[in-house]
Structure 1
Amino acid sequence: MSQNQLKIIALVTMVFDHIGAFIPNAPIWFCYIGRISAPIFMFCSIQAYIHTKDKMKYIFRLGVAAVVMTIGNSLLYLWFNINSISCYPIENNFFATLYIGTVIVYIYDKCKSKVGFFIIVILWQVAVTVGTDLLDINVLSNFKHFNGTIYDLLNTVLGVMIRCEGGPLIVLLYFLMYLAVINKNKNMLWLVYLGFVMLLQLTLLKFYNRQGIIFWSLLPFVKYQGLMILALPVFYWYNGLRGSRIKAFYYIFYPLHIWVLYSIGIFSKI
C-alpha cells in the first residue's frame, strides 16, 4: 500500500475515534477503532520527513498547521464561552505532536554527538516548559479572555512536549519509530513498536486514573490505549510508494472535522 492509502486508513479510523469522543452516546468501539489512527499518521510523517527534499520546509509546514489549529481551537472555545454555552477546551492538535517529533529527529540528524543531542533536547524542553509557565503567571494573566490563547500559542510554537497531544511518550514513540525506519529494518520497527505499546499498556493498568500533574502529563491516555498495537500490520503493508498527492486535503480536513464534531457535540447537550 502507498503512503497515501495508509493515510486514508488513518483518516477514516480518526473520524470514528473523534465521533466517539465528541458525540454523546456514540458507541465506545468507535474509539477502539481510532487507536490505530495516530500511529499510522506518525509512520507516514516519518516517511514524508525522510523522503522530502527540504526538511526545514516540511517542519515549517507542520508548525504552521499546528499554530493555525491552536488558534482555531482557542477561538471556537472562546466563542462558546462568550455566548455562555457550557463547553470544554479542545485538546486535539496532533499537528503539534508531529511538529515536535520532526524537530527532534532533525536535531538528531544534525548532531554529531548523540550526547549533545540529548543535552540540547533536555535543555530546550526545560527552558520552554518553565518559561511558558512563568510568562503565564507573571504576564499572560493580564490579558483576560485571550491569556489562554496566547499561552497555547506559545506552547505550540516553542514545542513544549509535555503539553502536546499524547505528551512526551508519544513524541518518544515517534523518535524510536524514526530510528527503526531509517535502519530499513521492519523487524526492528515491529519490536520497537510492540515493546513500547506493551509497556505503555502495563503502565496504564498500574497507574490509570492516578491523581497529580505528573500522571496527567505523562499518561494522557485512555485505558484501552494498548489497542494501538493493531496498527502494526499496517506498517508492513507500506510498499515505499507515495501515491497520489493530496496532502493539502489532510491539512484542511483534520482541523475542520474536529471543529465540526466538537460543535455538534456541544450543541447536542444544550
Structure 2
Amino acid sequence: MNSFQIKLIALILMTIDHIGEFLFPQCDLLGYIGRLSAPLFLYILCWSIDYTRNRVRFLARVYAASVIMDIIWILLSIGGIHTDTYNNVFSIFFIVIAVVMILENKTLSKISKICIILAWQAAAWILVFVVMQDIIANAEYETICLIMHSLGIVTYSEGGWFWLILGVIIYYCKNDNKKLIIGYTGVCVFRQVCVALAVFPRILYFLEFHIGGIISTIANAIFYFFYGAEYQMAPIVPHNVYLGDYQWMMIFSLPIMLLYNNRQGRKAKYLFYIYYIVHIVLLCMLSNIM
C-alpha cells in the first residue's frame, strides 16, 4: 500500500470522524471509526520528512496551513458561525516536523537538542503569558489559538505533547516494523492506562493534599506547562476504559501502517491541505444550519 492510498484512507476516516463531531455529536460510533485517522496522517507525515526535497519548505508549508486554518476560524467567528469544536491538525504537524529537524541536526549534542526544544516552549509561554498578557486576557478564543499556534506552543496545539511524542517515536521506528509495533503499541497502552486510572490527576491530588507547599506548586506548574488547563478538570475517578475515552481505537491504525510499501503512489501534494480546510468550513456551516 503506497502513501497516497494510506492518506486517502485517513482522509475518509477523518471525514467520518468530523461528520460525527460537527453534525452528530451524540453518535459515538463515528468517533470510534475516526480515531484511526490522525495516526495514519502522522505516519505518512514522518515519511514525508525523509522524502521531501526541502525540509525547510515543507515546514513552512505546514506552518502556513496552520496559520490559514486559524485565520479562517477567526473569519467564521466574525461571520457569526460558531461551533463547540476547534480543529487545526496542522498546528501539531508543524511542531512534529520542527522537533524532528532539531533532533536530526548532526552538529548538536543530545542535551543541546532537548534544551533547544524546551527553551523554545518556555520562551513562547513567557511571551504569551507575560509579555502579551493583556492581549490574551481580552482576545477571542480563535485569536488566542492563532497566537499559540503561530508560536508553536505544544500544549495548545491539537493533540498536544502526546501527539508530539507519538510523532517522534513513529519517525524513529518507521524503518523497522518490529520497532514500530513495540513503540506504537507501547505509547497507546501507556496513554490508555494513564487515562483509565486517572494517573496524573491522582498524582496532583496526592501532592496538593498530602505534600503541599513548594513541591505542589512546582508540580502544578510542570503539569500546566505540558498539559494546559485541561488537566485540572480531569476527573479523579477512573474512566471507563472502552467507553469513557475511545482514543484506544487508534491501535487499529497500526496494521494499515505495516502495509506501507515505501512508495509514493499518485502525486497530490496539496490535496490534504485544501480538503482539510474546505471540509472543516463546510461542516462548520452545516452545523450552524442544522
Alignment TM-score, normalising by the size of structure 2: 0.81
Query: In structure 2, what is the Cα distance between the partners aligned to 1:91 and 1:224?
Result: 19
Structure 1 57/2 Cα, relative in aligned 2: closer, same or farther at 3 Å? same
Contact 1:194 1:229 survives alignment (8 Å)? yes
Aligned to 1:170: 163
Q: Which residues of structure 2 form unaligned runs of 5+?
A: 206-219, 235-243
Q: 1:232 aligns with which of 240, 244, 254?
A: 254
Task: Between 8-17 and 206-215, report the one with greater CA deviation.
Answer: 206-215
Query: In structure 2, what is the Cα distance between the partners aligned to 1:70 and 1:29?
Result: 28
Aligned to 1:49: 49
- State the SS of the aligned residue for 2:79: helix
Query: In structure 2, what is the Cα distance between the partners aligned to 1:49 and 1:172?
Result: 16
Aligned to 2:108: 112
Q: Once the two structures are aligned, what percentage of the paired residues are identical?
A: 26
Contact 2:194 2:200 survives alignment (8 Å)? no
Contact 1:74 1:90 survives alignment (8 Å)? no
Deviation string 1:64-90 (CA, Å, 9 cap, x unpaired) is 001100111122123217xxxxx4464
Contact 2:21 2:85 survives alignment (8 Å)? no
Contact 1:65 1:95 survives alignment (8 Å)? yes
Equivalent AA in structure 2 for residue 56 of structure 1: V
Query: In structure 2, what is the Cα distance between the partners aligned to 1:199 and 1:119?
Result: 25
Query: In structure 2, what is the Cα distance between the partners aligned to 1:209 and 1:76?
Result: 36
Q: Does 2:147 align with 1:125?
A: no
Equivalent AA in structure 2 for residue 159 of structure 1: G
Aligned to 2:8: 8
TM-superposed deviation, 1:256? 1.1
Deviation string 1:23-78 (CA, Å, 9 cap, x unpaired) is 13663211101001000000011111111110101000000001100111122123
TM-superposed deviation, 1:120? 0.7
Equivalent AA in structure 1 for residue 152 of structure 2: G
Aligned to 1:188: 179
- State the SS of the aligned residue for 2:258: helix
Aligned to 1:96: 91
Task: Between 94-103 and 255-264, report the one with greater CA deviation.
Answer: 255-264
- State the SS of the aligned residue for 2:27: coil
Aligned residues: 257
Q: Does 2:276 align with 1:266?
A: no
Aligned to 1:197: 188
- State the SS of the aligned residue for 2:270: helix
- State the SS of the aligned residue for 2:245: coil
Equivalent AA in structure 1 for residue 189 of structure 2: M
Structure 1 217/53 Cα, relative in aligned 2: closer, same or farther at 3 Å? farther
Task: Between 153-162 and 96-105, report the one with greater CA deviation.
Answer: 153-162
Q: Which residues of structure 1 form unaligned runs of 5+?
A: 82-86
Alignment TM-score, normalising by the size of structure 1: 0.87
Query: In structure 1, what is the Cα distance between the partners aligned to 2:200 and 2:247?
Result: 13
TM-superposed deviation, 1:208? 9.0
RMSD: 2.4
Aligned to 1:84: none
Query: In structure 2, what is the Cα distance between the partners aligned to 1:151 and 1:72?
Result: 13
Query: In structure 2, what is the Cα distance between the partners aligned to 1:98 and 1:190?
Result: 22
Contact 1:19 1:26 survives alignment (8 Å)? no
Q: Does 2:37 align with 1:37?
A: yes
Query: In structure 2, what is the Cα distance between the partners aligned to 1:140 and 1:94?
Result: 22
